[in-house]
Amino acid sequence: MSFHKPEMTSAKPVPLSRAIEVLYRSESGRILATLVRLLGDIDLAEEAMHEAFATALEAWRDSGIPERPRPWLISTARFKAIDGMRRRARFDATQTDLGLYLETQIHDEPQEEEIEDDHLRLIFTCCHPSLAPEGQVALTLREVCGLTTEEIARAFLVTQATLAQRIVRAKAVIRDKAIPYQVPAQQELPERLGAVLQVVYLVFNEGYSAETTGSELSCEAIRLGRLLHELLPEPEVMGLLGLMLLQESRRAARSSPEGDLILLDQQDRSLWNRDQIAEGIGLTESALASRRFGAYTLQAAIAAVHAEAPTTASTDWRQIVALYDGLIQIQPSPVVELNRAVAIAMWKGPEHGLRLIDAMLMRGELTNYHLAHSARADLCRRLGRISEARTSYERALALVRQEPERRFLAGRLRDLK
C-alpha cells in the first residue's frame, strides 16, 4: 500500500491533525457503518473506530496518509476490537468466543460496494420507526454524519447531557429490539424511506429556522441528502434534495446584516445562489419525469417556480396553486391549505385568500399557529382593514418564539400606526 504526505498542492503543508479531522468528518460514517456490520454492535464499532483514528495520528506522522485511508482505518479498528476482546476474555468467556469468531470470519479487505451498502444500512437503522423522532435525528447526525455530541447539542439548543441521553436511549432500543442492520425489502422500502427522508428534512428545517447555527445543520442535511441520492436515487430522494437546495439558495437574502427577517417578496434576488437553484431545478425535473414522485417533489416544484421568477409580481401563481392542489391530495394538512390560500390571494386578490384563512381559523385548526394570524394580518392590511390587521399582528406576535420574527411583526405593527 502506497502512502502520501499530508500536503495540498500549494507550498503550505496541511497539519496531520487537521487532515485527519477532515477525513473523520467525511469518512467516519462509512467506516462506522462497515464496522457495525463486522462487529455487530454500534458502541463497540464506535470505540474501535476512535481508537483507529488515534492510532492513525501516530502511525501516519512518519509514513504519511495512505492513498486509501478508509480500508486502513477499517482494518486497524477491526484488530483493535479483537485485541480489546482478548483483554476482556480473562473476565468473560463469551468475549473469547466472539473474538475467535471475528478472527476466523473476517479476512478480506471490504470492497467499495460493500462499504456503500453498509452506509445505507446504517442510515435505515438510525432512522428505524421504533426509535423516538428525537433519537432518530440525534443518532443519524452522530453516527452517519459524524457530528460530535457537542455540535449536535449546540445546534438543537439542548445540553450535551440531554443529547447524550437521546443517543443512549436510541442505541438501547436498537439493541433490545434486535433491530436488523439491513436495507428494507423492496415492498417495505416506500414506508421506511419516508421515515429516513423525514429525519433529513427535520434536520434541514431546524437549521433553516435557526438564528445562529442554522447553516451548519442545513449543510449537514444537504450532505445527507446527497449521500442518499448517491446510494438510493429514488424520485423522492431527488425531490427532497432539490427542495433543500432551492430553499437554501435564498439564505443570503433572507435576513438583513442586522439579522432582521426579509420576506420573499422583499428579497434581493441577485443574492440567491444560482448554482444551487440550477441543481435543485434539475433534480426536481428528474423526479417529476419519473411519475413516481410525492410530497417533497411537489414542494420542490413550488420552490422552483419561485426561483425562476424574476419578481414576485411575475411569479406564476396559478401554477403554484395547481401544485398546492396536488400536494393537498397527497399530503393534506392545514399548513398546506394555508400556503395555498396565500397563493390564491396573490393570484386572484387578497379577499379570496382572506376568506379561506378565516374559514380555517373558524375550524380551530390553526388557532395557535402564528403564521396563520400573520398571513391574515397582511391580507387585512392590503385590503385597508387596519383594525383587523392590528389585532391579527398582535395575536401572531403573542404566539411567535423566534426573535427575528418577533422583530418583523413588531415592525409591521409600528408601520400600521
pLDDT tens digit sequence for 148-191: 898 888 877 789 999 999 999 999 999 999 998 888 887 888 77
How deeply is 335 buried, as exposed, middle or buried, from its count of CB atoms within 10 A (0-12, 13-18, 19+)?
middle
Q: What is the pLDDT of residue 9?
A: 45
Residue 394 confidence (pLDDT): 97
Q: What is the pLDDT of residues 189-243, one digit of tens each?
A: 877 898 899 889 988 887 777 554 457 788 888 988 998 999 899 999 999 999 9
What is the rounded average pLDDT of the residues 295-323? 97
Q: Which residue has the higher pLDDT, 22 or 285?
A: 285
Q: What percent of the chain has pLDDT over 90?
A: 58
261-289 per-residue burial string, b: 16 or more CB within 10 A, e: under 16: bbeeeebeeeebbeebbebbbebbebbbe
Q: What is the pLDDT, as a whole number, of residue 250?
A: 95
pLDDT on residue 6? 47
Task: With a cut of 50, say whether residue 5 has pLDDT above it.
Answer: no
- Reply yes or no on whether the pLDDT at 120 is more than 90: no
Per-residue pLDDT band for 8 (boundaries 50, 70, 90) equals very low
Q: Domains of the chain: which residue ranges?
A: 3-110, 111-232
How far lies 170's CA from each of 102, 149, 153, 191, 356, in Å? 26, 14, 16, 20, 42
Average model confidence (pLDDT) across the chain:
87
Q: Retrieve residue 285's grid coordinates.
A: 425535473
d(Cα 315, Cα 44) in Å, to the nearest integer?
Answer: 54
End-to-end Cα distance, the chain: 74
3-class secondary structure, 171? helix
Q: What is the pLDDT of residues 374-388, one digit of tens each?
A: 999 999 999 999 999
pLDDT value at 142 more than 80: yes
C-alpha dist (Å) from residue 49 to 116, 121, 141, 142, 176? 17, 18, 16, 13, 23
pLDDT of 186 reads 78
Q: What is the pLDDT of residues 87-105, one digit of tens each?
A: 776 655 555 555 554 554 4
Please compute the mean of the pLDDT values over residues 359-370 and round it to a whole number. Answer: 94
Q: Report the SS3 class of residue 211.
A: coil
d(CA 83, CA 44): 12
Q: Look up the pTM and report it.
A: 0.78
Query: What is the pLDDT averaged over residues 126-132?
Result: 92
What is the torsional sign of CA 159, 227, 213, 54? positive
- pLDDT at position 96 is 52
Write down the pLDDT at residue 108.
Answer: 53
The pLDDT of residue 341: 98
> Quick one: fold of 111-232?
Arc Repressor Mutant, subunit A (1.10.10)
